[in-house]
Structure 1
Amino acid sequence: MKRFFKYGLAAVLVLALMVSIFGCSGGQSGDNKDAKTSAGQNKPTIVIGSKTFTEALLLGTMTYQYLQHLGYPVENKVGLGELAVIRPALESGQISGYWEYTGTVLINVMKHEPSFDEEECYRLVKEWDEKNGLIWLDYAPLNDTYGIMVRKDIAEKYNLKKTSDLIEQIKKGEPIRFVSTQEYNERPDGLAHFEKVYDFKYPKKYLINAALNVGYEALKSKQAEAGLAFTTDARVKAYGLVMLEDDKKAFPVYNAAPVFRKEIIDAYPQLPEQMKKLSSLLDDETIMELNKQVDVDKKSVDEVSREFLKKSGLIS
Structure 2
Amino acid sequence: MYMKKRSLFLVAVLSLTLALGGVFGCGSKEPAAGSAPDKAKEGPAIKISSKTFTEAALLGTMTLQYMEELGYPVENKMGLGELAVIRPALTSGQIDLYWEYTGTGVLNLMEHEPVFDADESYKLIKDWDAKNGIAWLDYAPLNDTYGIVVRSDIAEKYNLKTTSDYVALVKKGEGLKFVGFPEWEGRADGLPAFEKVYDFKMPKNDYVNVAMGLNYETLANKKGDLALAFTTEPRIVTDKLVMLEDDKKAFPVYNAAPVVRQEIVDAYPTLAEDLKKLSSVLDTKTITELNMQVDVEKKSIEEVSTTFLKSKQLLK
TM-score above 0.5, yes or no: yes
- Give the count of matched residue pairs: 290
Map of 1:234 onto structure 2: 234
Map of 2:12 onto structure 1: none
Map of 1:13 onto structure 2: none
Residues 100 and 257, structure 2, Cα contact 8 Å, conserved in 1? yes
Cα distance change on mapping 1:308 and 1:74 into 2, 3 Å: same
The secondary structure found in structure 2 opposite 1:76 is strand
Map of 1:286 onto structure 2: 286
Mean Cα displacement is larger for which, 132-141 or 169-178? 169-178
Gap regions ≥5 residues in structure 1: 5-17, 27-32
**What does 1:1-16 correspond to in 2, within 5 Å?**
none
| Structure (1 or 2) with the larger CA radius of gyration | 1
**What does 1:249-268 correspond to in 2, within 5 Å?**
249-268=249-268
Cα distance between partner residues in 2 of 1:81 and 1:113: 25
Map of 1:204 onto structure 2: 204
Cα distance change on mapping 1:208 and 1:72 into 2, 3 Å: same
Cα distance between partner residues in 2 of 1:24 and 1:214: 51
Displacement, 1:22? 7.2
Cα distance between partner residues in 2 of 1:149 and 1:53: 22
| 1:197-237 deviations in Å (ceiling 9; x for gaps) | 11111100010111111111111121100010001111111
Map of 1:276 onto structure 2: 276
Residues 27 and 76, structure 2, Cα contact 8 Å, conserved in 1? no
Cα distance between partner residues in 1 of 2:250 and 2:34: 52
Map of 1:14 onto structure 2: none
Cα distance between partner residues in 2 of 1:25 and 1:126: 35
The yes-or-no answer on 1:127 pairing with 2:127 is yes
The yes-or-no answer on 1:25 pairing with 2:30 is no
Cα distance between partner residues in 2 of 1:279 and 1:201: 38
Map of 1:189 onto structure 2: 189
The secondary structure found in structure 2 opposite 1:148 is strand
**What does 1:218-233 correspond to in 2, within 5 Å?**
218-233=218-233
The secondary structure found in structure 1 opposite 2:105 is helix
Displacement, 1:25? 3.3
| 1:150-207 deviations in Å (ceiling 9; x for gaps) | 0000000001111111111111111210111111010111101111111111100010
Cα distance between partner residues in 1 of 2:50 and 2:27: 20
More helix by share: 1
Cα distance between partner residues in 2 of 1:56 and 1:143: 13
Cα distance between partner residues in 2 of 1:68 and 1:217: 41
Cα distance between partner residues in 2 of 1:90 and 1:46: 11
1:83 maps to a residue whose letter is L
**What does 1:127-146 correspond to in 2, within 5 Å?**
127-146=127-146
Cα distance between partner residues in 2 of 1:131 and 1:108: 17
Instruction: Return the TM-score normalized by structure 1.
Output: 0.89
The secondary structure found in structure 2 opposite 1:249 is coil
Residues 96 and 260, structure 2, Cα contact 8 Å, conserved in 1? yes
The yes-or-no answer on 1:159 pairing with 2:159 is yes
Residues 137 and 272, structure 2, Cα contact 8 Å, conserved in 1? yes
The yes-or-no answer on 1:296 pairing with 2:296 is yes
2:181 maps to a residue whose letter is T
Displacement, 1:24? 6.0
**What does 1:24-43 correspond to in 2, within 5 Å?**
25=37, 33=39, 36=40, 38-39=41-42, 43=43
Cα distance between partner residues in 2 of 1:280 and 1:170: 37
Map of 1:51 onto structure 2: 51
Displacement, 1:309? 0.1
| 1:247-298 deviations in Å (ceiling 9; x for gaps) | 0000011110000001110111101001000100111100000000001111
The secondary structure found in structure 2 opposite 1:306 is helix
Gap regions ≥5 residues in structure 2: 1-20
1:210 maps to a residue whose letter is V
Cα distance between partner residues in 2 of 1:53 and 1:24: 34
2:89 maps to a residue whose letter is A
1:81 maps to a residue whose letter is G
Residues 106 and 125, structure 2, Cα contact 8 Å, conserved in 1? yes
Cα distance between partner residues in 2 of 1:109 and 1:135: 14
The secondary structure found in structure 2 opposite 1:313 is coil
Residues 47 and 95, structure 2, Cα contact 8 Å, conserved in 1? yes
The secondary structure found in structure 2 opposite 1:99 is strand
Cα distance between partner residues in 2 of 1:223 and 1:258: 40
Cα distance change on mapping 1:201 and 1:24 into 2, 3 Å: closer
Displacement, 1:95? 0.5
